[in-house]
Amino acid sequence: VLHVSNLTRNVKAAHLQEIFGCYGTVAKVELAIDKKLGLPKGYAFVEFSNRTDAEQAQLYLDGGQLDGNYVKVAF
């Protein structure tokens, strides 16, 4: 499971599914939502079907730009 942080509030789970899906089969995307505000908290968890795909995604996407922010992708 990858932890993706420094996301803007514009990023949706579908965006993450599409982007991370370029590196393999994404089993699940969980975008953290502030229950009081109903807005994203700025981080998400992305689960891949296999670790090799997750490692590739982490290698290529960590430090990359998404919606104007440089994101951190870590295990």
pTM for the full model?
0.94
pLDDT by residue (tens digit) across 9-60?
999 999 999 999 999 999 999 999 999 999 999 999 999 999 999 999 999 9
**Domain annotation for the chain: domains and CATH numbers:** 2-74 (3.30.70.330)
3-state SS of the chain?
Answer: CEEEECCCCCCCHHHHHHHHHHHCCEEEEEEEEECCCCEEEEEEEEEECCHHHHHHHHHHHCCCEECCEECEEEC
